[in-house]
Amino acid sequence: MNFQNLTDQIKKKKSFLCVGLDTDINLIPEFLFDFKDPVFEFNRQIIDATEDLCVAYKPNSAFYESRGVKGWESLIQTWQHLPKDCLSIIDAKRGDIGNTSSMYAKAFFDEEASGMSFDAITIAPYMGSDSVKPFLSFEDKWVILLALTSNGGGKDFQYLKSEQGYLYESVISKAHEWADSSKLMFVVGATRGEEFQNIRKHAPDNFILVPGVGAQGGNLQDVCKYGINQHCGLLVNSSRSIIYASKGNDFAEKAREEALKIQKEMVIELEKIGLI
């Protein structure tokens, strides 16, 4: 999915919502255990209930890996079920030397090799250019590079200041040497709405994936106030607050209600910038 396709979907669906599939087998309703793959069935119902309200899905790889082979099978099945008009993001936060990153690219971008071909992957920047470049050779696929994260430990290193500014600013600046906004997004945590003003100075055109709205405490209005650009340029992720909106048998219905609530707020934000 390329930049234009994604922007078109945002206009069409009046949404820049990404639904995070952080599916924990210990948190899903009992009745799903009657299905062969309860985690996939949970995801399937969530996807079917929300696909007209969001433009992206983001399975969190850790939640699948934690179940070994079975989890990997659930992840592949989930990928297969993702609607083609949504950006599919694997939240994997990989990052290694070039030949290893090529293998990670096979794992997540090459269906023939691994059974999966996501549109985008989250990458950790610590090891620099060779962590990223192997993923950039795939047409219409994206790298989503960690810049400023919303977790407590995000402050440990991301705000270290060198001559080039904060570490997260250096990451954004350096990454512009590797790819333009047609293949490169950044992760910026939503608990720091006002930080988006500065992020947009460094990355005016890139899409920004914003986790942390909902369960992690972020606020959509704050994010949009400083983070939205003329083509939207935001994908706002919500995981727990949508997928666990209800722990009962009505989980999919409640997930839809929650997604709809966010999507309605997004309509207002998209109208403000005249995109819809």
Provide the annotated active-site residues. Answer: 93
Using CB under 8 A as the binding rule, whether residue 131 contacts its own copies is answered as yes
| Interface size with its own copies, residues (CB under 8 A) | 62
Binder to its own copies among 10, 14, 18, 22 (CB under 8 A)?
22
Nearer to its own copies, 187 or 252 (CB): 187
Using CB under 8 A as the binding rule, whether residue 156 contacts its own copies is answered as yes
Binder to its own copies among 120, 144, 167, 188 (CB under 8 A)?
167
Q: What is d(CA 178, CA 185) in angstroms, rounded to the nearest whole number? A: 12
CB atoms within 10 A of CB 112: 7
Binder to its own copies among 36, 139, 162, 194 (CB under 8 A)?
162
Please identify, among the stretches 6-14, 37-45, 91-99, 192-200, the one whose residues bind its own copies according to the rule CB under 8 A.
Answer: 91-99
Please identify, among the stretches 28-36, 135-143, 156-164, 195-203, the one whose residues bind its own copies according to the rule CB under 8 A.
Answer: 156-164
Question: Per-residue x/- marks for its own copies, 44-73, CB under 8 A?
Answer: ----------------x-xx-xxxxx-xxx
Q: Binders of its own copies among 207-236, rule CB under 8 A? A: none
Please identify, among the stretches 42-50, 163-171, 190-198, 250-258, the one whose residues bind its own copies according to the rule CB under 8 A.
Answer: 163-171
Using CB under 8 A as the binding rule, whether residue 260 contacts its own copies is answered as no
- Spell out the SS3 assignment of the chain: CCHHHHHHHHHHHCCCEEEEECCCHHHCCHHHHHCCCHHHHHHHHHHHHHCCCCCEEEEEHHHHHCCHHHHHHHHHHHHHHCCCCCEEEEEEEECCCHHHHHHHHHHHHCHHHHCCCCCEEEECCCCCHHHHHHHHCCCCCEEEEEEECCCCCHHHHHCCEECCEEHHHHHHHHHCCCCCCCCEEEEECCCCCCHHHHHHHHCCCCCEEECCECCCCECHHHHHHHHCECCECEEEEECHHHHCCCCCCCHHHHHHHHHHHHHHHHHHHHHHCCCC
CB of residue 268 vs its own copies: minimum separation in angstroms?
A: 29
Using CB under 8 A as the binding rule, whether residue 267 contacts its own copies is answered as no
Characterise 210 by phi-psi region: left (phi > 0), alpha (psi -120 to 50), beta (else). Answer: beta
Please identify, among the stretches 46-54, 118-126, 196-204, 268-276, the one whose residues bind its own copies according to the rule CB under 8 A.
Answer: 118-126
Give the residues lining the site for its own copies (CB under 8 A).
22, 24, 60, 62-63, 65-69, 71-73, 76, 93-101, 103-104, 106-108, 110, 113-116, 124-132, 146, 149-158, 160-164, 167, 170-171, 174
